Amino acid sequence: MPPRVELDLSESATAAAAAALAASYERLLALVGHGQSLHAVIDPVLGDPFQAETARSAAVAIAVRHPEMKAAQFPYLLPLGDFGRDDVIDRSLAASLRQAMRGDEEKPQGRSICGWVVTDAAPGVLAAHLAERARLRVGQEMKLLRFWDPRVLDLLQASLKPAQVDALLGPARSWSWLARDGSLRSIARSESAASHVSESNGWQFDSLQVRSLFQAEHVNRTLDVLQDMGHAVVDADLVTRVAHLIGRGAKEWGLETDRDQVTYALYGVLVGEGFDRVEDVRAAMAEAWAEGMSPIDALDRFDEQYWTRLGEGPRSDAPTRTV
């Protein structure tokens, strides 16, 4: 059953985006089996696009018990009806596509339509399970894991082990979301997995995964800037490079703020990973650091022509310090 022609695409949507939307509709339809239900996952922090919907009264909050979360910030499960009859499915896909491809004029640093979950369990059971999975023990601390953010899932998907996927999903059959290029990505519970997974069974992360989670905010901010500049940002190698640069900037230059870490990563991607190995650049950064300034401030001493002469990539998109 093809999506209906009245799907609400923004004026900036391209033919490729429309094709991606139609493909996502078909893939999502194929994931819902007989007797299973589909729910949209909505994060109301940036605004609730379905607050006025009739189905909103039947929504179930994912009540995360963590000091960083207030009740008004809880994501929720929005029950969806049949394909071809419930236009909330269509509209949630279209709105999610705009957010994924950063087509909205304000370009927020987040996504309100996080994805779609297929389950044969009661919504309350699923919501309670997902709320527990938002809490991840790291050492002696209980960290908040915003796994429902599709940008976090983009980073996690490649590193999650099958047992971790099963532990995350629990009573859910699958979880789908739109990647930055508008394509639908999914993780699915293995056929052999139990629908109820204890907290201690499979829901631990190794040190590399924990490090990736701690870097997620800065990595995603860097990818946001690159995406707004017209760069393809769904390549796994690029994500790995950005994460490496974020870690290197913190380790070698003591960079801590969002502005500094993102700017460093942008120079590393757009100019070349060795930009701070060039003698005069390195000397200027070291001098600024010794004077109690951010090493990133020293990059303003070099103009666009200088970065062009380094000869690593086109300079029409050379980064600026303000991101």
So where are the chain's domains?
Answer: 15-204, 209-309
pLDDT of residue 175 exceeding 80, the answer is: yes
| pLDDT number for residue 185 | 94
| pLDDT number for residue 7 | 39
| pLDDT number for residue 105 | 58
Q: Could you give the CA distance from residue 282 to residue 208 in angstroms, rounded to a whole number?
A: 28
Average pLDDT, integer, range 124-137:
95
pLDDT of residue 201 exceeding 70, the answer is: no
Q: Could you give the CA distance from residue 31 to residue 282 in angstroms, rounded to a whole number?
A: 52
Q: Could you give the CA distance from residue 164 to residue 185 in angstroms, rounded to a whole number?
A: 17
Where do we find the tokens 């993780």? Answer: 187
DSSP alpha helix (H) spans, the chain: 15-31, 87-100, 123-133, 150-156, 162-169, 207-228, 236-253, 258-270, 279-290, 304-309
Angle between helices 15-31 and 87-100 (to 10 degrees): 130
On the 0-12 / 13-18 / 19+ scale of CB atoms within 10 A, 125 is: middle
Classify strands 141-144 and 172-178 as parallel, antiparallel or unpaired. unpaired
| pLDDT number for residue 18 | 79
pLDDT of residue 109 exceeding 70, the answer is: no
The mean pLDDT of the chain is 86
pTM given for the model: 0.81
Where do we find the tokens 């769904």? Answer: 234
Classify strands 135-138 and 172-178 as parallel, antiparallel or unpaired. unpaired
Q: Which of 71-80, 168-177, 309-318 has the lowest mean pLDDT?
A: 309-318
pLDDT of residue 16 exceeding 90, the answer is: no
Band of the pLDDT at 313, cuts 50, 70, 90?
Answer: very low
Average pLDDT, integer, range 108-115:
84
Q: Could you give the CA distance from residue 100 to residue 107 in angstroms, rounded to a whole number?
A: 10
Query: For residues 112 and 191, which has the higher predicted lDDT (pLDDT)?
Result: 112
pLDDT of residue 310 exceeding 70, the answer is: yes
| pLDDT number for residue 107 | 58
Where do we find the tokens 């499960």? Answer: 77
Q: Which of 78-92, 108-122, 156-170, 300-314 has the lowest mean pLDDT?
A: 300-314
